[in-house]
Amino acid sequence: MRRIDYDTEQYQDYARGRALSERQQQVWISAFGAVLPERRPLVGLDVGSGTGRFTPALARAFGPVTGVEPSVRMREIAQAQSPHPDVRYLAGSAEDMPVPSASADYALMFLSWHHVPDKPQAVRELARVLRPAGRLLLRANFSDHHPRPWWLEHFHRGFETDAALFQPLHEVIAMFTSDGWRVTGFGTVTEPSVGSRGDMLQRLRLRTLSFFAQLSPDELEAGFRRLEEAVAADPDAPAPVFSEPLLTLERS
């Protein structure tokens, strides 16, 4: 995978390209609530919090949250656009979090795991910051449980290229269980549609997905041309939904 430097790419358009409607956010928050303990407040970590897409919603639903994010630019946008009295955004990474040991009840990693260069260190660091029986909510893709978004087929080898960004599920599970964690849940969440296929095309043009950074300029041009032709046939049709994996792990 070509690594994305969020301080030089994507940060200007990320919030727009990946915006969630209130309904979409609610679907995720209720999926997270279903795998978390019922007591409130829960102390949370949003690891790889980006522009703070989820951080204030986590605080409203569960209790105070620390967003940990390595990119200065992404953090600046989160601070400006996603503030909340129970949220703070700190510089850090999954491998090195500026929070005390055993201080959080849960950590969310929403599409940030595949960006982590030193995954064994992240497994240890997540175990350090969570309390015993603390939960990690890993919204990740897996090469063998890949969600197959409808638009990907228009890019040459799109599915293979995108799936290759991610580890297979058993490999991720083994990294955690060999360090004493246990799996408490694996399922999928279906986000409500973003709107029409035309709306989705507008967002995709912003290229705020790591997939696009893996393609050559010719592959990008040809893929967008095919996608535009397909969407032009029925731009107002609802963008098809797909199922997104959520793996929950418990620290021993």
Ligand X SMILES: C[S@@+](CC[C@H](N)C(=O)[O-])C[C@H]1O[C@@H](n2cnc3c(N)ncnc32)[C@H](O)[C@@H]1O
The binding site for ligand X (CB under 6 A) comprises: 6, 18, 47-50, 53, 69-71, 74, 93-95, 110-112, 115-116
Between 50 and 231, CB nearer to ligand X: 50
- Tell me the CA distances in angstroms from 46 to 65, 133, 139, 159, 183, one per residue in order: 7, 17, 11, 28, 19
Could you tell me the smallest distance in angstroms from the CB atom of residue 250 to ligand X? 20
**Rounded Cα–Cα distance for residues 87 and 148 (Å):** 33
Q: Residue 225 CB, nearest distance to ligand X (Å)?
A: 26
Nearer to ligand X, 47 or 130 (CB): 47
Supply 242's token pair: 């797909």
Smallest gap from residue 230 Cβ to ligand X (A): 25
Q: Which residues pair with 110 in a beta bridge?
A: 139
Which residue number, 78 or 231, has a Cβ lying nearer to ligand X?
78
CA–CA dist 180, 130 (Å, integer): 13
Of 74 and 215, which CB lies nearer to ligand X in the complex structure? 74
* Three-state DSSP state, 127: helix
Q: What is the amino acid identity at position 179?
A: D
Cβ 117 to ligand X, closest distance in Å?
A: 6
